[in-house]
Amino acid sequence: MLNFEFLIKSLEVRDVYTRGHTERGTHYAMQIGAAMGLTEGELNDLYIGGLIHDIGKIGIPDVILLKPAKLTKEEFEVMKLHVKIGYELIKDNEIPEGSLEVLLYHQEKYDGSGYPFGRSKENIPLLARVYTIADAFEAMTARRIYKKSKSWEEAFKELEELAGKQFDPDIVPYAVNTLSNLKKVPWYSTSTSPDIERIRWSFYFMDSTGAIKGDLFLPTLNAFMEQKEEFCLTIFDIKNLSRINLEKGWTKGNEALALLVRAINMECCSMYDLKETIVKLMKEDVLDINSPLIFRIGGDEFAVIAPFIPPPEKVKHVVAFMKEQGVEVSYLQSNYPKDFKSEKDILSRIMQFSRKRSFSIELDLIQPE
C-alpha cells in the first residue's frame, strides 16, 4: 500500500497551503459521508481519495502553483492538468478504485461543465460528488491572498445556490446540515523549515528592492477597504531615476530604489520586517490588515498601505533623506474614506499623479544643464 503520509509531506514541501486544504477538505468529506450513511469501506475510500486528490500538483510549475494572484486563462489550463498528473503518478499502486475516482473526478461538476472529462450527474462517481462539495466548501472558507474568505453561512448559501449546477442537489442538504453542526475543525502544524518558507515566499512575493510585488497591491487595497475603517495610502515616486540610470548606471539606480524602500520602512512602517510579514501572511493564509505594507507598483513608484495615518513629517523625512542621497522623490498621500471610496477613485488619483510626473520627467531630460 502506498505511503500516503509520505505523499502529503512531499506535496507540503512544494506548497504548505495545499496540505492544510487537503486535511480540512478530507475532514469535511468524512463528516458528510458519515451523515449520508456510507459504509465503512466507502468512508475508507473517501478518506484515501481526499488525501491524494491534489497530489498531481507536485507536477505543476511553481510560478503557477504558488502564484499569489488569480490565475490567467492559460495558467488555469495548466493547473487543470494536476488531475491527470496525479492519476498517472499513483495509478499503478494499490489504491482502492473508489479513491482513484475521487482523484479523477473531484473537479467534475453536476451539470457537466467541469473537467477533465465533462461528466455530469450520476456519471460522476458518488464519492467524487461528495468530495467535490467538501473541497469547494474548504476553498470558500479559506482566506487566500487574492480573495476574501466567505463566512460559513455565506458558504452554505453558495452551496445551496449551486445545487444542481456544480453540486449534487441530493448531497448538498447533508453537507449543510452536517457542517453547520461541527464544533471544531482540525488544524495542522507544518514541519517545513522556516528558512525554506522565507526563501520561497520572498522569491514569489518580494520585489528585488525589498517591497512586495505589485501583483498584490490591488487585492490588499480592496481588503483594507472592505473593513470600512480609516487607512492611509501613500505613493512615492523617484523623480530623477532615469537621470541616475543614464549618468551613474543602472546599479546605482537599483540602489536608489532599495534605499527608498528602507527609508519608507523606517519612517512610515515602524521598522516592520516585511520578509517576516510575508512569511506570516502566507503560512496563516490571511492578509494582515494590521500592518503597514510597501508595494512596488511601477518602475520607480511605491505604495504604502497603512492602517493608520502617518504624520506628515514622517513622509517629509523620507523625501528629505533621499534628497541628501541625490535622489528626488515626490509623493501623493490619500486617506480612506476621506479622499477616495473605491478602487476606481484611487486608481484615478494615482494615474493623474503619474501623468504629471511623466510630463515633468520628460521636461527634465530635455533641459540643458
Q: Are residues 23 and 48 in the same domain?
A: yes
Mean pLDDT value across residues 28-52: 94
Domain co-membership, 305 together with 209: yes
Answer whether residue 286 is part of any domain.
yes
Residue 237 phi, psi dihedral angles, 5° rounding: -135, 125
CB 35 within 8 A of CB 178: yes
Amino acid 237: pLDDT: 92
CATH number of the domain residue 161 falls in: 1.10.3210.10
Whether 229 and 325 share a structural domain = yes
Q: In one letter, which amino acid is 259?
A: L
Residues 11 and 152 grouped into a single domain: yes
Final residue of a structural domain among 121, 151, 179: 179
Q: What mean pLDDT is predicted for residues 182-196? A: 64
Pair 162, 198 in one domain: no
CA distances from 273 to 53, 198, 235, 243, 343 (A): 36, 12, 20, 31, 27
Whether residues 113 and 237 fall in one domain? no
Residue 218 and residue 69 in contact, taking contact as beta carbons nearer than 8 Å = no
Residues 42 and 155 in one domain: yes
Given 145, 179, 213, the domain boundary residue is: 179
Has residue 132 been placed in a domain? yes
Report which listed range, 17-26, 195-204, 270-279, is most confident: 17-26
**Domain match, 200 and 175 both:** no
User: Does the pLDDT at position 366 exceed 50?
Assistant: no
Report yes or no on 10 lying in a domain. Answer: yes
C-alpha span between 49 and 29 (Å, rounded)? 10
Q: What are phi and psi of 149, to 5 degrees?
A: -75, 150
Our count of domains for the chain comes to 2
User: What amino acid is encoded at 28 in this protein?
Assistant: Y
Cα separation, 277 vs 309, in Å, equals 20
pLDDT score for 364? 41
Instruction: Indicate which CATH number applies to the domain containing 343.
Output: 3.30.70.270
Helix (H) or strand (E) holding 124: none
Show the beta-strand stretches assigned E in 260-323.
293-296, 301-306
For cell 540643458, name the residue.
368
Count CB neighbours of 47 within 10 A: 19
C-alpha cell at 41: 469501506
* pLDDT score recorded for residue 276: 56
Cell of 70: 488569480
The span from the CA of 57 to the CA of 193, in Å, is: 20
Judged against a pLDDT cut of 80, whether residue 206 lies above it is answered with no
* Residue located via cell numbers 520561497: 200
Q: Which of 234, 230, 236, 235 is nearest to 341 (CA)?
A: 230
Q: 125, 152, 179 — which closes off a domain?
A: 179
Residue 184 resides in a domain: no
**Stretch 231-258: mean pLDDT, rounded?**
91
H or E element in which residue 212 lies: strand 212-213
Residue 182 is predicted with a pLDDT of 84
- Residue 192: which of 283, 273, 68, 58 has the closest Cα? 283
Residue 186 lies in a domain: no
Mean pLDDT confidence for 226-235: 87
pLDDT of residue 361 exceeding 60, the answer is no
Same domain, 81 and 139: yes
Give the full edge-to-edge strand order of the sheet including 293-296. 212-213, 293-296, 301-306, 231-238, 329-336
Structural domain contains residue 188: no
The grid cell for 126 is 458518488
- All three cell numbers of 193: 523549515
**Quick count: other Cβ atoms within 10 Å of Cβ 166?**
19
Is residue 158 one of the residues assigned to a domain? yes
Mean pLDDT in the chain? 82
Beta-carbon contacts of 174 under 8 Å, excluding residues fewer than 6 positions away, are: 32, 35, 36
What is the pLDDT at residue 83?
94
Cell for 348? 484615478
Kindly tell me if the per-residue pLDDT of 360 is higher than 50.
no
Q: Which residues contact 280 (CB under 8 A, 6 or more apart)?
A: 288
Domain of 281?
Answer: 194-366
169 & 46 share domain: yes
What pLDDT shows up at residue 359? Answer: 42
Please check whether residues 12 and 145 belong to one and the same domain: yes
Q: CA 27, CA 188: separation in Å to the nearest integer?
A: 12
Specify the pLDDT at position 270.
Answer: 56
pLDDT of the residue at 22: 81
- Cα–Cα–Cα angle for 95, 65, 144, nearest 5°? 105
Residue 18 has pLDDT above 80, yes or no: no
Least confident of 90-94, 239-243, 247-251, 330-334: 90-94
| 98 and 125 Cβ atoms separated by less than 8 Å | yes
Of 172 and 228, the one with more pLDDT = 172
Domain for residue 185, yes or no? no
Q: What is the pLDDT of residues 78-132, one digit of tens each?
A: 999 999 999 998 888 888 999 999 999 999 999 999 999 999 999 999 999 999 9
266-292 pLDDT, tens per residue? 777 654 455 555 555 544 444 445 567
Residue 359 and residue 270 in one domain: yes
Burial category of 300 from C-beta neighbours within 10 Å (exposed 0-12, middle 13-18, buried 19 and up): buried
